[in-house]
Structure 1
Amino acid sequence: MNWVWDTTQSFLSRNRKRLAYAGGIAATGYTLYHLVRRQWRDYEKQSAIQRTAKQNLKCRFEQNQHDCAFTVRIMIPAWADEIAKELGLAELKQQLQSMKKIPAAAMEDAETTEAPQKSKAELWNEMKTATFIKAVVSIYFVSLLTLFVDIQLNLVGRHTYLESVHTLFREDDGELEIDEKRAEGLSVETRRQFLSFSWYFLNVGWKSCLDDVRRAVESCLSEVSPRSSVDYEKLNEIVANVRTEVSANLCQPHRLSSILFPPKEAEPLVLLQATHTMAGNGTPAVSEPLRDLLAEAQDFVESTDFLLCFEKSLDAAFDLFALYLQSELSPEVNLTKPRAGPLPGPGDESTPDSPAPSSRPMPLAAALPRVERVVDHILASDTNRFIEAISVIPEVKALSAIVFTGWPDFE
């Protein structure tokens, strides 16, 4: 047995360097193998987290867009009542109806014995003006409200998404290398207060837009009598002229901002009116997180991107208004069934199914109820194709994505 031991010892002595080298290679290979395995597991884990995060981002963003359309629809009815009351259309209709029931002789006697009353011609002129004011201001209102709510919900949605990512990483890794305070998001109360600032536009700001529309309508219709003969082309021309005058004053970043946001000194009072909450001094305070949200939303509204989206929204809304008006004036045109894809503009040659925009002439007074029926579509609270048309505009979708994904870099 000694010779076996001697032989082995001699072999190890002669090949010591080679064996050490081979052992080093084996140890290195073993270490590298486990290192690669660990890195591969980490890569798979990170890839799974990223896929989950991207899917979560996509789902939340898409849900936000649905929430925006739903929110605008539930806001419309209250405003529709407000604009009807402001313009007094119901009272004008009632007075005109009552005049039909009173004989001409009795009407003359009433005018001589009672206080002076408005003539039938005056009432029809007021009805003419009020109808077009309601039509045009409704388009501006729905377009601006849709974009404003979209910015609000995407700002809040961004913080909600960051909270979900923060929670996901904390559960998987146990610790984060980001600013915890910024990642934890907004309190429920701050979100509620921020969203409640739409109260200002719904109750105060829109009236500034109404003043612009009223002046434009009175200017464009001053020479048009209720007895004037009109057709689709003439009505569309009137609406286009009104839009041109209104947009010249309204489509400016700081003007839009003043319509959507109250002055800073009025913010606590708006918060009080919108949320019905009281602080120790009688009015709720605007917290720092709320102030930051309002400032960021205002920056978006005052950007050239928002102005472009607003103009594109008006294009889509006025085009759709023209299509509905055409269907009211031309019985052969049927828009009762929603169609998929982009909505065509009037006379668009790229859509051969679109009928030629023509109609039988009629007195303007007879066309007013048809214009009112189109306004019913603009202010629909169930299925609203005007909101849908605005929501699918590429520029609007791009702005929504910018707002939603505009989170700060955590360093």
Structure 2
Amino acid sequence: MLAAIKDFFYRHRRKLITTGVLLGGGLFLIKLIQYKLREFQERQAREIAERFKRMKHFESTERTCNQTIVGLSENVSEKALRDLSTADILEKLRSNPDNKFELWEELKILAFAKIVTLVYASSMLALTLKTQINLLGGYMYKDTVPRDTQTTYLSMIQYFMGEGLDKLMDVVRNNVTIVMQRYSLKQPLTLADTETLFWSIQMSLNNDELNPVKCLAKFTLPQDGLQGDGNSDLTLRKMCDETLDVLESAEATDVCLSNVSSGFSSIVDKLAEYYAEAEATQLAPSTSKSALNVDCLSNINNIKISLAKLIPIVNGLTAKPLGKSAATNGLQNGFEKQRNDMMSSLIVRFMQSEKLKTLGINVYETFCA
């Protein structure tokens, strides 16, 4: 019996060895597949957890960024409206002085310089802070940044709140003066003419040596740099250099230019309401309200308002609330204290820009990787 078994194994030894190897190899392969599958699942779980963690951190960074933009926009608006104030000129005009023409010419420059400054300032503020806070957020996601370094880095925007904004107002006022010299106070303007006027100011600024769009960093960042203490020096300098690189990039220039153009479109849309009102006063009182609206819309491109009458309208856009739309949009985005003045309306509009949102995401992803 034993001899027969031994003889069987001897005769079939190759088959048995092959079968054993195949069985062993199969078991090993199954174990290996199970191990690789478990490793893949664990890696996937870690990546999902990491993405979720990054997403939550980015959302927190964005909330901080938006709140900071909204908070500082009030200071920027107050300074611009104070330094380009028309109150003294209006007060003098009420007394019917001999130099009335010169005062109207000055009012013409200030009224347009003021609203143009708000458009550029709000775009530059939103873009710079979106870059800074997302860059800092990316750094903080992957490593600890000393609080002193954070404070010093974020304090760079204070330059724009003072000297940078003064420089912007000078550049804007100079270019507005050049463009407005082509327009007389009695010149009648259609809505399209008014849009062309704003476009001409924008083109004049685009051709300026200190074009605020292309030279954004010269207005919003201190030119002499910032210094930190101890080991934070290298990190701070690196963050400053990288911020400068982003603000001077083609993407940032495109975002700023897009926001400025959007801001002027918003102003023209607002002025269209006044053109429609001017047309409505010329229609017969017996005209029905629905017919009145249709006529106003159909004839709006033919309506003309003299520049002298347009100046107080433009000046008024920066001096009074714009209605509930801006405040409502602000509340929908979590800005409970959002005001409904021109600067706030522009800030909300720009923060809803997909281009600005994409820039913020790209900056954050680049520096947290």
1:239 offset after TM fit, Å? 2.1
Q: Paired residue for 1:399?
A: 359
Query: Equivalent residues in 2 for 1:12-411 (5 A)?
Result: 12-61=9-58, 64-97=61-94, 99=95, 119-161=99-141, 163=142, 184-222=143-181, 224-226=183-185, 228-249=187-208, 250-251=210-211, 255-264=215-224, 267-268=226-227, 287-331=233-277, 357-358=300-301, 360-375=303-318, 381-382=338-339, 384-407=344-367
1:90 offset after TM fit, Å? 2.8
TM-score by length of 1: 0.70
The amino acid that maps onto 1:324 is K
**Superposition misfits of 4+ residues, deviation over 6 angstroms:** none
* Separation of aligned partners in 1, 2:22 and 2:93: 102
Which has the larger displacement, 84-93 or 147-156?
84-93
Task: Tell me how many residue pairs correspond in the alignment.
Answer: 334
Secondary structure of 2:301's partner?
A: coil
Query: Does the 8 Å CA contact 1:143/1:387 hold for their aligned counterparts?
Result: yes
Secondary structure of 2:145's partner?
A: coil
Distance 1:300 1:253, change over 3 A: farther
User: What RMSD in Å do the two structures reach over aligned CA positions?
Assistant: 3.4
Distance 1:331 1:285, change over 3 A: farther
Which has the larger displacement, 221-230 or 365-374?
221-230
* Separation of aligned partners in 1, 2:302 and 2:316: 17
The amino acid that maps onto 2:313 is R
Which has the larger displacement, 391-400 or 378-387?
378-387
Query: Does the 8 Å CA contact 2:73/2:347 hold for their aligned counterparts?
Result: no
Query: Does the 8 Å CA contact 1:300/1:306 hold for their aligned counterparts?
Result: yes
Which has the larger displacement, 218-227 or 77-86?
218-227
1:312 offset after TM fit, Å? 1.8
The amino acid that maps onto 1:203 is G
Distance 1:64 1:372, change over 3 A: farther
> Which digits, 9 at most, give the CA deviation of each residue in 1:177-233, with x for residues without a partner?
xxxxxxx24233322322221111121112222112111222222354545544433
* Separation of aligned partners in 2, 1:288 and 1:324: 48
Structure 1: which 5+ runs fail to align?
Answer: 101-106, 108-117, 164-183, 272-278, 334-353
Of all paired residues, the percent bearing the same amino acid is 20
* Separation of aligned partners in 2, 1:402 and 1:385: 25
Structure 2: which 5+ runs fail to align?
Answer: 280-296, 328-337
The amino acid that maps onto 2:139 is H
Distance 1:44 1:360, change over 3 A: same
* Separation of aligned partners in 1, 2:62 and 2:299: 34
1:126 offset after TM fit, Å? 2.5
* Separation of aligned partners in 2, 1:155 and 1:356: 49
| Larger proportion of helix | 2
1:252 offset after TM fit, Å? 7.2
Distance 1:368 1:54, change over 3 A: same
TM-score by length of 2: 0.77
